[in-house]
Chains A and B, each alone.
Chain A
Amino acid sequence: MNAQSHHADRRNFSVAHLADRAKFIRLETLRLTRIAGAGHYSSTFSAAELFSALYYAHLRIDPTNPKWEDRDRFVLSKGHAAIGLYPVLADLGFYPPSKLDDFTRLGSAFGDHPDMKKIPGIDFSSGSLGHGLSVALGMALAGRVAGRDYRTYCMLGDGELNEGQIWEAAMAAGHFKLQGLVGIVDRNQLSIDGPTEKVMSVEPLDDRFRSFGWEVTRIDGHDLPTILETLGALKPAGEGKPQMIIADTIKGRGVKYMELSLDWHVGNLVGADYDDAWSEIEAGLQPLETEKA
């Protein structure tokens, strides 16, 4: 399968459609949070446009053949954002959307973190932070050993960059010159205990990954045309530098009272909190307060 031709037929989706799917991701996240009584909604809101662009426009995948050997791999290293990915996979046809109605109930395939053995379309289980880039590294090495041209994508949280294993994997990817490995940092600025730069600083991210041998692009992770352009400019699998996209995002983006607030990492939304969030998301992304000022 030729990567370019396959990518091409998935790139017909308009920015308006992708924005609508990002809205869908946020609304479904709200709905599922309510079913579970808790959820990492704000970590999904920061990644909604990235999920939308990757899954609806970019990744080489086939929902009718989840184990297709030549598919692009996607590892959600920040596994707690799975609540935003499950609806996408259902929407694409990996499984019926009704499967999500018992989200997190006893025996459900769908928990707070994704399980590859239970959910079609999940390429690897995650949950323990700091592992995903190593998993993706292994997938990229396997592609090289087997002579396949798929790319391996890994979405990382910024807080998990505190984990040492991330840098073991980053070092190895540079050493092995795995151009087919694509990292995406959802740089939403916050981990549980506060701003990353106060809890354990991760910047300068660009320089750090560059010094480990990566090609680095830094973008606005909510701007769909920019995301599409950046994904479209990725180099094919082969020997070269692994590619890192640092996506500057806003934790809780789309719901004003959450944006950049520390109070909304995980939990339930009830009453006016839920209704306000729903109607704000329904109205579509509004400029940030800082942008309007």
Chain B
Amino acid sequence: MMGAAGQDQSTLFRGDDNELRLKDEKSVRGTPAKSMPAFILGDELADLAETDPRIVVATADLANSSRTRDFANRHPHRFIDFGIAERNMITAAAGMASCGLVPYVATFASFAAILGAEAIKTDCAYPRMPVRIIGHHSGISMGFYGTSHHSTEDLGMMRSVADLTVVCAADANQLRAILRASVDHPGAMYIRLGRGRDAEVYQDVPADFAFGKATKLREGSDLTIVTTGSQVHASLAAADRLAADGVSVRVIDMHTIKPLDEEAIRAAARDTRAILTVEEHNIIGGLGSAVAEVLVDEERIPFRRHGILDEFSLIGPPAALYAHYRLDADGVTAVARELLQKIN
């Protein structure tokens, strides 16, 4: 695939550089590294690239954080490190896409979606270029790095861009499904990932994954929790605790924020008594707003949006932040109980 013969690849792409070599994978808090989303990103893309010469991968000086270095090690001539220049990376990816390539560009969500928003709108979505913008370490998952590195606005911003598919991965297996389905999906796409330490939700790669088609993980009749990405696991845990109290909770993994599975929301409004949205994002603009837009148009049902309540996050370790903002199993359970008390 390399162009003119005799080019020194190492001067063009950094994939051959020793500092990008795969380091020993470690497990994090007992979770095998291979099950965590960020840890499979580079390898899964490298697998896909084995049979698809259109796939190229880029990062903005975050080959290690995104694990795109795993791709670089296997396909050095199709890996481009743009340095700390996110807009240039996203726009250049659109240029590459216009020539027939399918670029996956990865950086922190705050810089991919928020710094890069205009390039995503103007250069990727508007000309319908098949660029996949991967925002990893989204939400408040970067903890003590602080507000500059948090992204609790990205879903709202991305969701308002026409012709852009917006999707969140709950764990490694779902990310594999997303990446496989993304290759030939028309138009531009924003893929939101957590920090790479998300606990397993899907034991296998979900075979029935489809963009725009929500996944019902639990059936229930009292309450529906509509959630996405990093909050799917906590929401399932909350549903289990509520079940122990005799409360029947439906859990919907709304992995695709846009196009939204509106029918799944309408069905929840018909079949259950209340709806709670849970997301690691400002309650303004993201999943909660998207669900509210469907409900206000078509249904009247007790409803609550849960997430970051329109504030910039405190500094702290991620686990402490999730507890503080009630975005862990305990927190989601408590919020659900508050909603149920109001309707009983």
Contacts and interface: CB of A to CB of B under 8 A. Distances in A.
Q: Do A and B come from one complex?
A: yes
Interface of A: 69, 73, 75, 115-117, 123-125, 127-128, 131, 134-139, 141-149, 165, 168-169, 171-172, 175-177, 237-239
A143 B98 contact: no
Contact of A146 (B3, B119, B123, B128): B3
B221 interface: no
Interface string B91-134: 11111111111010000000000000011001100111000000
A171 B89 CA distance: 12
A148 B126 CA distance: 26
A267 to B, nearest CB: 25
Contacts of B119: 131, 134
Given A131-B91, A239-B4, A116 B101 contact: no
Given A144-B12, A145-B3, A239-B8, A135 B100 contact: no
A125 B98 CA distance: 10
B83 interface: yes
B88 interface: yes
A213 to B, nearest CB: 12
B4 A149 contact: yes
Contacts of A168: 82, 85, 87-88
B11 interface: yes
A291 B271 CA distance: 82
Nearest to A166: B88
Q: Which 7 A-B pairs have the closest CB atoms?
A: A138-B95, A138-B92, A134-B91, A168-B88, A142-B99, A168-B85, A135-B95
B36 interface: no
Contacts of B3: 143-149, 237-238
Contact of A123 (B98, B103, B122): B98
Nearest to B2: A147
A82 to B, nearest CB: 14
Given A147-B2, A177-B11, A138 B94 contact: yes
B86 to A, nearest CB: 9
Given A124-B127, A172-B82, A142 B100 contact: yes
Contact of B96 (A125, A141, A149, A238): A141
Contacts of A69: 99-100
B118 to A, nearest CB: 7
B195 interface: no
Contacts of B4: 144, 147, 149, 237-239
A145 to B, nearest CB: 6
30 contacts: A116-B127, A123-B98, A127-B122, A131-B119, A134-B87, A134-B119, A135-B92, A136-B95, A138-B92, A138-B93, A138-B95, A139-B99, A141-B95, A142-B95, A142-B101, A143-B99, A144-B2, A144-B12, A145-B2, A145-B78, A145-B96, A145-B101, A146-B99, A146-B100, A171-B83, A172-B85, A177-B11, A177-B12, A237-B3, A238-B4
A255 to B, nearest CB: 32
A73 B96 CA distance: 12
B80 interface: yes
A141 B101 CA distance: 10
A135 B129 CA distance: 12
Given A75-B95, A136-B95, 14 more contacts: A115-B127, A116-B127, A125-B123, A134-B87, A134-B88, A134-B123, A137-B92, A141-B95, A142-B101, A145-B56, A146-B1, A148-B3, A149-B4, A172-B88
Contacts of B100: 69, 142, 146
